[in-house]
Amino acid sequence: ATLIASSSLCLFLWNKKDHMRRIWNAFFGRRSLRLLALQNNNDKETKNGEVKEEGKMYVSGLFIYPVKSLQSLPLTSTKLDSFGFENDRRIMIVRPVPSRTYSYDPNAATHRFVTQRQCPILATISTNIQEEDPKEVGMKRKENTITLSLECEGKTLQVDISPKTIAQKQSSPSSIIKASLWDDVVTVVDLGDEIAAFVSNIMQRDPLAFKEDLKSFQYVRVVSMLSNNMNNNAQLQHSRPINASYIPPSAFTKWKCSVPDTTLNDGFPILVTSESSLDDVNERLKKNGKDEIEMNRFRPNLVIRGGAKSNMKPFEEDTWKAIQINNVILYIVKGCPRCKQSCTNQETGERYEEPLEILSTFRRMNKNGGDDVYFGQNVVFIGLVDENQKGGNLIRVGDEVKVLTRGKAVWDMEEVQAE
């Protein structure tokens, strides 16, 4: 019996050898980064007990995008969850697929995402998130209330996007939508007629949109990721894995060791840029007699600035790998190819030739000689240095940024065809 049990165990482990290897690599990958971070904490260069501020790099900006392709929401601090920055790109705008095949396929997309690429006027809609903790205001209910506010041309709309409200909406089958987002098909929930009409009325006035697009904008819907309050029904859980080709073993989920999911972004949860890289771009623009641009053109989540004595170079972030901010470890996976959305003024919706033209002169990085140009780096969340630290998943403006490991820059394996 013992021999049979041992043989069965060996057979089971053999069949699971690839998965076991991934667990092993993920565990030791995270462990080695935590040890590096702890060593880094102990090796701070100090003078009279204080860190030398001028030699540091630090967080100079934090941004989320509550609705994909609408204006950014600047923050002084943010928490990270399994998807990235809290409340970042959990909502998007979709329109009906123009030529849907009506054969029975429950996984076929009926709608497709819409961004500033097709509708630049979306950049004129500002967003805000208000979260009310019942404990702080003396209320008896347990759930937080999360309110999304949209504003454009003096008109304002508020929508309850609390998890409980989303769960109630998705209990109705007619509210569930299958939407294509690049090559993925995601299951999302319709947030209702009021917010759809608010956004649609603005989109239909876009002077830069094509006529055929303007017609479809009257049918847009605003949709949200599904709530997790659905009794773990697998068909209703948000599942959109990050491209495993680019992520390190340490980024795989802790227990299942699976590829982590991301939200309704373009593929990766966090985008990092640096002020030194933007300065370099603006210097080149000025030399060519063109206007400087602002960082918001690149729609980053995390902006990094080097102190006066940090010697931070333009595009140095290309070769960073693991970085530590406060108690958080992030991993830079690949460069971010830029599209015409970076040529859109993020307040007026006006569109220009830059920065794509100037970037094409020195930031074409694909080995295959494609037209993609790069600014910023895509990032995944690895974990916490100290998992027992209360509030340890918090990043704040002013926090020091430490580079734990460096390596060769990574670019897209294939040329990206932006819509």
Per residue in 173-220, pLDDT (tens digit) is 999 999 999 999 999 999 999 999 999 999 999 999 999 899 999 999
Model pLDDT, residue 342: 97
* The pLDDT of residue 396 is above 90: yes
Whether the Cβ atoms of residue 247 and residue 333 lie closer than 8 Å to each other: yes
Higher per-residue pLDDT: 81 or 17: 81
Residue 307: CB atoms within 10 A of its CB come to: 15
- Edge-to-edge strands, sheet with 77-81: 84-85, 77-81, 394-396
Model pLDDT, residue 231: 44
- Residue 234: pLDDT band (50, 70, 90) is very low
Per residue in 158-176, pLDDT (tens digit) is 999 998 899 899 999 999 9
* The pLDDT of residue 51 is above 50: no
Per residue in 112-131, pLDDT (tens digit) is 999 999 999 999 999 999 98
Segment among 58-62, 134-138, 201-205 with least mean pLDDT: 134-138
Segment among 66-80, 178-192, 230-244, 295-309 with least mean pLDDT: 230-244
Model pLDDT, residue 63: 98
Asked if residue 337 has a cis previous peptide bond (ω within 30° of 0), the answer is no
* Whole-number average pLDDT of the chain: 87
* The pLDDT of residue 269 is above 70: yes
* The pLDDT of residue 235 is above 50: no
